[in-house]
Structure 1
Amino acid sequence: MTAYLSRVIDTRLETVILGMVFIASSLILAAILNLPTHVYSATVSATVAQTFLGVGGSGAWWPHDLFSFPESARQNLSELLFSESGLAISSYRYNLGGGGVGVSNPVRAPETPYVSPGVYNFSADPEGVFFLQQASDFDVPGITMFVNSAPAPLTSNGFSCNGQFVNANGPAYATYLVDVAQHWREAGINISFVSAMNEPDNSFGPLPCGQEGMLVEANQRATLITSLWNELESRGLTSEIGILADESSSTSLATSEYSEWLPEVVDMVAHIVHHAYDFPTDAEYEAFINSANAVSGGKTTWMSEICCSLGSPDGSGRGYTEGFDPTINNALMFAGLVFQSFVIGGEGHYDFWTLVSSGLGCEPLTDPTCATTPNSEGWTDGVIYYDPDYATNGNFELYIVKHYYAYKHFTNFVRPGTQRNPVTGSDANEFTLVVSNSTTYSVIAMNPNTTESTISLTFPQDVCASTAFRTSATEDFSTVTPATGSGLTWSLPLSETSLTTYIFKREAC
């Protein structure tokens, strides 16, 4: 028996020694071959930060074209955007048209239901209404009705662009907006927010214009918001429909103008909503948030529009520019903007711009690499693309780019009601987002580098890894091996240039 135990101990000792030799050899080999051995350590806080409200995008202006697609293609698109198997976006921005008077591009000139004060044609804009209805049918929880311009008769110049909001028309404009929102709510479409001035800093002139737009000077915005609030209050709807404002095109411009209008109406505004076409640095983004909080007394901010940038996964080189880049590199650059909003800004809501775009910049029927190869003629403003010549060549194909699969990590796991658990430690960075509900932790982690790395993550309670999904140059939200570990501490491998979501149950294995 003693001899047997001795042999067992010797065998186990030999196994341990061999294992140590293997690890040491592997490290030596990695050093010789210059293979990555990066391990980053971080800790998940037990204290939650913000509560998330929605992740999604806009229904402008692609419904004009996609409504003309065969029914099967339209349903396919709805599945891709709204279903649990697709993006399952939790926020949809319906563009209420101003009639397109003076707009040269019909795609960007949605019809308005406005006929005259109190008289409406709700069969107008069947394209936009179709996808609004689809969002509702798929139970998208957050639907915003946003406006680029008031109906032409209510603007300063009688056009849907190159004009300005008229203070005296504030009550009439507010009545129109609430009438339309209430009509669709009574039809079963739960419009829960109204944005009456999208990018009020730009009228998008001169005539003829490329899109709708209505200038609302900073000193006019309180008047517009007050008119809208009064109309909602008169109908007992202030707790049902929230006002979003002011959707300035950049954080720097918004910061410079908040003091002119926000203090007067801060209690009427549900959320302060902004765009980020200045592509701020992290320091600038944080400064913007601090400024908005100081002026508003801590009112929550939302990021509601961004698109159109080239750049690298680490965020370098980003800025508003023409160019189509459907690759993982650009997809991760845009994912970095979501991390910036959620982690640096502490915001609870994020919307991409058009979601669907025709800006391929190439001809997919004649170039088989069109939808997968960067070019300088297109625009990176969608997660799904279609052929702009569909009407003449009959190409109704939908082209899904890497941005779709990268965005899916956020739309699928950053759900309304979930919360962010900050990640701390000397190795913590903004590219790790931990989202929790009562039963699950979802760890969304990006590796913008061309070498592999690993996060050693410590949780505030025992957890159990369940599954994982990765998007990379060769993977599209693919199921991959779950994290390894036990108890509080787990190892999360991150492939080069990738975005990975690791799912953990909030219980011991």
Structure 2
Amino acid sequence: MIMGLNFLRCALLVSSALLAVAETSIDSKPQQTIISFGASGAWWPNDLIDFPTDVQKRVGEMLFSKSGLWLSNYRYNVGGGGVGVTAPKAVAQSFLRPDGTYDWSSDKAGVTFLKMAQDYNVPYITFFVNSAPPPISLNKASCGWDMTSGQVQPFANYLATVVSHWKNEGINVTYISPMNEPINNRKSCGQEGMGVSVFLRGSVFAAVKAALRNASASDVGIIGDETSWGIEADAEYPLWLSRAKDSLTALAIHNYDFPTDGLVSSYAWVARTASGLPIRFTETCCSTSGGAGPWLFGAQYDPTIVGALITSRYVWQFLTLANAESFDWWTALSGEMGCSPTADATCATKINSNGWNDGLIYFDPDHAKNGNTQLYLTKRYWALRHFSYFIRPGSTRFNINNTPSGVVAISTLNAGTWNVLFINQNTKSIPFTLKLPGTSAAVTGITQTTAQDDWAAVTIPPVVFGSVQLTLPGQSIFSVQFTTVGGPTQRRSDD
């Protein structure tokens, strides 16, 4: 009798221990198809063009190869020429000459890395525009002006000429974004920019679509309008989107208001109601902490896991709460370290308040003087690699249920392989159970990024009765791949 009671007591203890560990599961209903993860080639090529060829090639490998980020989208900045811009490196050269002819050699820096992306067969290449060049702009500058109806057709014809030229040169231009944060004409001229009224945006998109068709480039999709804040888009979409949705392939949005989860969901509802178009997240950078609010934007260089977790949660927000089909970081490389890596050996790995969280890879801002062409990786680079490496184009997202407190996750299926990506913002490790869908499940790989590890393989635990016991390290990004028989299928839900 005593032995029986002891056995029962042990069984209850084991059961209680198992119940104390959260069981996370994958929903059976497919959500959106993921198109791409990317970053832009804005501005940094102006520096990198002066680096040795072997370093340039290393950059291409780090961005585009399977041994690097394996980006599936590259955003090429179609330059406005930089006329009037006060920051010499925050520009891109224009192909359009003052006499109306084109000089296709003018943007050697940007085109060098554009061609590199093509050589690596990056699946999607997006051309984006901050300003029309001076031959078209009202003030004959590349900033501080507002478009009127008189510039719409010349601007559309110019974009079609640029796109069709590079397509003929073998560049797989898949999308064009004709404007960027169009409520802000960059009056201070710290960078290129033009204003486009909400009442003119529909006309611009329609004119670009017609011009692309006339240039035999109708297969190039148009995305817009790259609004800076979600709450700004909520107010503006009803004013212009109904007139533009037939010209657009997808909506493009930024998050510089750093919205709450509720505001992201609200934005998604407005976007669906106003157009039904898919959403693409096309730019973010430069937040100084977690949380929400536009005041988070500011100067800081944070190469640590803390900054990586902030970025990762932005990806989670827009992929899960807005059903965005892509995510692009602002700029792939940056010289805005805020310190000198030659003067301070710890500069590249420490947080400071002088630099900017705008890059994935950094270089010495004084390279031209000191000859330092070393590249410095951030934890943000490795965090984005979890998304771009494991969630390839065509992956279907599924909701994931009952994640532990302080943990968010993204689950995807592609070509028979599942990937579940966990983001643990807790400082302590979290044990939990992952219930795998289907039958005959087999875990094929686990990779983690932590404060200590950039990209580390984790010992694969056994699958027991269709579940696997996992432990997320504190402050980590943690990706699990597995296969199953049966279970949910890879298709987009039309419900």
For this structure pair, what is the TM-score category when the shorter chain's length is used for normalisation? over 0.9
Equivalent residues in 2 for 1:31-430, closer than 5 Å: 39-115=21-97, 119-206=101-188, 209-238=189-218, 240-296=219-275, 298-312=276-290, 319-425=296-402
Aligned alpha-carbon RMSD (Å) = 2.5
Instruction: Compute the displacement of 1:99 (Å).
Output: 0.8
Equivalent residues in 2 for 1:2-21, closer than 5 Å: none
Instruction: Compute the displacement of 1:45 (Å).
Output: 1.7
| Conserved 8 A contact 1:117-1:176 | no
Matched, 1:480 2:474: no
Distance 2:154 2:173 in 1: 20
Return 5+ residue gaps in structure 2 as ranges.
Answer: 487-495
After the TM superposition, which segments of 4 or more aligned residues of structure 1 sit over 6 Å from their partners? 314-318
Matched, 1:502 2:480: yes
* Larger mean Cα displacement after TM superposition, 114-123 or 372-381: 114-123
Distance 2:195 2:286 in 1: 22
Distance 1:484 1:507 in 2: 17
SS in 1 for 2:423: strand
| Conserved 8 A contact 1:40-1:453 | no
Letter in 1 for 2:285: C
Letter in 1 for 2:421: I
Distance 2:463 2:95 in 1: 58
Letter in 2 for 1:423: I
When residues 130 and 487 of structure 1 are mapped into structure 2, their CA distance, relative to the original with a 3 A threshold, is: farther
SS in 2 for 1:221: helix
| Conserved 8 A contact 2:96-2:135 | no
SS in 1 for 2:21: strand
Distance 2:326 2:405 in 1: 22
Instruction: Provide Cα deviations, 1:316-343, integer angstroms capped at 9, x if missing partner.
Output: 9982121111111111011111111111
Instruction: Provide Cα deviations, 1:321-370, integer angstroms capped at 9, x if missing partner.
Output: 21111111111011111111111111111000012111110110010110
Instruction: Compute the displacement of 1:222 (Å).
Output: 1.0
Aligned length: 480
Instruction: Compute the displacement of 1:155 (Å).
Output: 1.2
| Conserved 8 A contact 1:419-1:436 | yes
Residue number in structure 2 paired with 1:31 = none
When residues 376 and 427 of structure 1 are mapped into structure 2, their CA distance, relative to the original with a 3 A threshold, is: closer
Instruction: Provide Cα deviations, 1:3-60, integer angstroms capped at 9, x if missing partner.
Output: xxxxxxxxxx9xx97x969x87x98xxxxxxxxx962212212221010000011111
* Larger mean Cα displacement after TM superposition, 424-433 or 125-134: 424-433
When residues 443 and 57 of structure 1 are mapped into structure 2, their CA distance, relative to the original with a 3 A threshold, is: same
* Larger mean Cα displacement after TM superposition, 331-340 or 41-50: 41-50
| Conserved 8 A contact 1:118-1:176 | no
| Conserved 8 A contact 1:108-1:212 | yes
| Conserved 8 A contact 1:340-1:430 | no
Instruction: Compute the displacement of 1:233 (Å).
Output: 2.5
Distance 2:341 2:281 in 1: 32
Aligned mate of 1:469, from 408, 430, 447: 447
Distance 2:99 2:434 in 1: 60
When residues 428 and 237 of structure 1 are mapped into structure 2, their CA distance, relative to the original with a 3 A threshold, is: farther
Instruction: Compute the displacement of 1:438 (Å).
Output: 2.6
Letter in 2 for 1:213: G
Distance 1:399 1:280 in 2: 30
Letter in 2 for 1:451: K
| Conserved 8 A contact 1:311-1:317 | no
Letter in 2 for 1:303: F
Instruction: Provide Cα deviations, 1:235-269, integer angstroms capped at 9, x if missing partner.
Output: 4433x101111001111111111112110121110
SS in 1 for 2:330: coil
Larger Rg: 1
When residues 317 and 155 of structure 1 are mapped into structure 2, their CA distance, relative to the original with a 3 A threshold, is: closer
SS in 1 for 2:110: helix
| Conserved 8 A contact 1:464-1:487 | no
Distance 1:257 1:434 in 2: 32
Residue number in structure 2 paired with 1:3 = none
Residue number in structure 1 paired with 2:493 = none
